[in-house]
Amino acid sequence: MEKCLFCEIAEKRIDSKIVYEDEKVVAFKDIYPQAPVHVLIIPKKHISGVTSLEEGDRELVGHMFIVSQQLAKDFSVYQCGFRLIVNSGPDAGQAVDHIHMHLLGGRTLQWPPG
Ligand code: 5GP
Ligand code: ZN
């Protein structure tokens, strides 16, 4: 398989600002932050995107949401609010083919998104 950027980040072969890690997931700061808080939560397992999820990934996906709660607390947006985004495919602008959840916050976010 071709080298995957986020697998490389998870394996710490490429530098990133890791803010959380456990046996299943890694969270790190987005290199081009779109808000004062912009963190990406990824599974350590390579899954290319939402459309590649399998039944056996249910717990992992749920875990990503639970981890987002802790990160929201850590970055002081738990009370004021934050947004979780998972882009899928070209129309959504998915740029990295390793499933990732964006956690955005620290400012008022517009709705609908662009
Ligand atoms: P997508 O558009 O696929 O939903 O989001 C990919 C995100 O990955 C973008 O927000 C982009 O800024 C971020 N990103 C791309 N390359 C890197 C990198 O090398 N390091 C980090 N920390 N973030 C990256
Ligand atoms: Zn990967």
What phi and psi values does residue 50 have, to the nearest 5 degrees? -55, -40
pLDDT in tens, 6-60: 999 999 999 999 999 999 999 999 999 999 999 999 999 999 999 999 999 999 9
Cα(21)–Cα(10) distance, integer angstroms: 9
**33: containing domain:** 5-105
Can you give the CATH number for the domain in which 67 is found? 3.30.428.10
Query: Which sign, positive or negative, has the C-alpha torsion 25, 7, 39, 65?
Result: negative
**Shortest-distance Cα residue to atom 13 of ligand 1:** 30
Instruction: Return the ligand 1 atom nearest residue 87 CA.
Output: 4
pLDDT-derived band at 1 (thresholds 50, 70, 90) equals: low
Residue 12, in any domain of the structure: yes
Measuring CA to CA, which residue among 59, 51, 45, 56 is closest to residue 10?
45
Counting ligands in written order, which one lies closest to the CA of residue 9? 1
**Shortest-distance Cα residue to atom 8 of ligand 1:** 30
> Is the pLDDT assigned to residue 93 strictly greater than 60?
yes
- When divided into structural domains, the chain yields a total of 1
Answer whether 0.85 is exceeded by the pTM.
yes
pLDDT in tens, 57-78: 999 999 999 999 999 999 999 9
